[in-house]
Amino acid sequence: MARTQLLETADEAVAGIEDGSTVLVGGFGLAGMPFDLIDALIRQGATDLTIVSNNAGNGEVGLAALLKAGRVRKVLCSFPRQSDSYVFDELYLAGRIELEVVPQGNLAERMRAAGAGIGAFYGPTAVGTSLAEGKESRVIDGREYLLEYPIRGDYALISAHHADRLGNLVYRKTARNFGPVMAAAASTTIVQVNGVVETGSLDPEAVVTPSIYVDRVVAVEERHYTVQGAR
Amino acid sequence: MTDLFHAGTAEDHPVETGTVEHLDRGPLTMDELAEVIARDIPEGSFLNLGIGQPTKIADHLPAELGVILHTENGMLGMGPAADGDQIDPDLTNAGKVPVTELPGASYFHHADSFAMMRGGHLDVCVLGAYQVAANGDLANWHTGKPDAIPAVGGAMDLAIGAKDVLVMMTLFGKDGTPKLVRSCSYPLTGVGCVSRVYTDHGIFEVGGESVVVRATWGISVADLEERLGMPLATVA
Which residues in A lie closer than 8 A to residue B157 (C-beta atoms)? 103-106, 125
**Candidate from B92, B110, B190 with C-beta closest to A29:** B92
Q: Check if B72 is active-site.
A: yes
Q: Cβ of B42: how many Cβ atoms within 10 Å?
A: 16
Q: What is the distance of C-alpha B36 from the center of its chain? A: 11
Which residues in B lie closer than 8 A to residue A107 (C-beta atoms)? 110
Give the whole-angstrom CA distance, residue B160 versus residue B49.
15
Please tell me the predicted confidence (pLDDT) of residue A230.
43
Indicate which CATH number applies to the domain containing A10: 3.40.1080.10
Please tell me the predicted confidence (pLDDT) of residue B45.
98
Please tell me the predicted confidence (pLDDT) of residue B146.
83
Q: What is the pLDDT of residues B2-61, one digit of tens each?
A: 455 544 444 434 444 588 999 999 999 999 999 999 999 999 999 999 988 999 999 999
**Residue B16 exposure: Cα atoms within 13 Å on the Cβ side:** 2
In a domain, A93, yes or no: yes
**Contact residues for A10 (Cβ-Cβ < 8 A; gap 6+):** A36, A37, A39, A40, A192, A218, A220
| 231 residues of chain A, pLDDT tens digit each | 568 999 999 999 999 999 999 999 999 988 999 999 999 999 999 999 999 999 999 899 999 999 999 999 999 999 998 888 999 999 999 999 999 999 999 999 999 999 999 999 999 999 999 999 999 999 999 999 999 999 999 999 999 999 999 999 999 999 999 999 999 999 999 999 999 999 999 999 999 999 999 999 999 987 666 555 543
Structural domain tally of chain A? 1
In a domain, A190, yes or no: yes
Q: How far is A229 from chain B (nearest CA, A)?
A: 6
B118 touches chain A (CB under 8 A): yes
B5 touches chain A (CB under 8 A): no
Please state whether beta strands B180-181 and A169-170 pair in parallel, antiparallel, or not at all (unpaired).
unpaired
Give the whole-angstrom CA distance, residue B38 versus residue A170.
36
Predicted-complex ipTM score:
0.94
Specify whether the backbone of B27 is left (phi greater than 0), alpha (psi in -120 to 50) or beta.
beta
Contact A109 B73 (CB under 8 A): no
**Candidate from B96, B113, B118 with C-beta closest to A124:** B118
Contact A131 B156 (CB under 8 A): yes
**Candidate from B92, B110, B156 with C-beta closest to A178:** B110
For chain A, the maximum distance between any two Cα atoms, rounded to a whole number of angstroms, is 55
Please tell me the predicted confidence (pLDDT) of residue A84.
87
**Candidate from B75, B83, B151 with C-beta closest to A174:** B75
**Candidate from A82, A89, A181 with C-beta closest to B110:** A181
Question: Which residue in B30, B48, B73, B117 has the most chain A C-beta atoms within 10 A of its own C-beta, making it the best mutation to test that interface?
Answer: B73
The residues in B 76-95 lying below 8 A from A, measured between CB atoms, are: 81-84, 87-92
Which residues in B lie closer than 8 A to residue A229 (C-beta atoms)? 81-84, 87, 97-98
In a domain, A226, yes or no: no
In a domain, A122, yes or no: no
B2-80+91-234: in CATH 3.40.1080.10: yes
Question: B72, B101, B209, B225: which is the annotated catalytic residue?
Answer: B72
Please tell me the predicted confidence (pLDDT) of residue A58.
87
Q: How far is A58 from chain B (nearest CA, A)?
A: 11
In a domain, A202, yes or no: yes
Give the whole-angstrom CA distance, residue B14 versus residue A134.
44
For residue A78, CA distances in Å to A103, A209, B72, B172, B221 come to 5, 23, 13, 28, 40
In a domain, A230, yes or no: no
Domain carrying residue A73: 5-102+151-218
Q: What is the distance of C-alpha A157 from the center of its chain? A: 6
Contact A227 B151 (CB under 8 A): no
The set of long-range contacts for B16-21, using a CB threshold of 8 Å and a minimum separation of 24, is B17/B235, B18/B234, B18/B235, B18/B236, B19/B213, B19/B214, B19/B215, B19/B216, B19/B221, B19/B234, B19/B235, B20/B214, B20/B215, B20/B216, B21/B215, B21/B216, B21/B220, B21/B221
Averaged over successive runs of 10 residues, the pLDDT of chain B (236 residues) comes to 47 57 95 97 97 94 96 96 94 94 97 96 97 98 88 95 97 97 97 98 96 96 96 92
Which residues in B lie closer than 8 A to residue A28 (C-beta atoms)? 73-74, 92, 96, 110
Contact A229 B87 (CB under 8 A): yes
Please tell me the predicted confidence (pLDDT) of residue A30.
87
Please tell me the predicted confidence (pLDDT) of residue A83.
82
Question: So where are chain B's domains?
Answer: 2-80+91-234
Using DSSP's 3-state secondary structure scheme, residue B169 falls into: strand
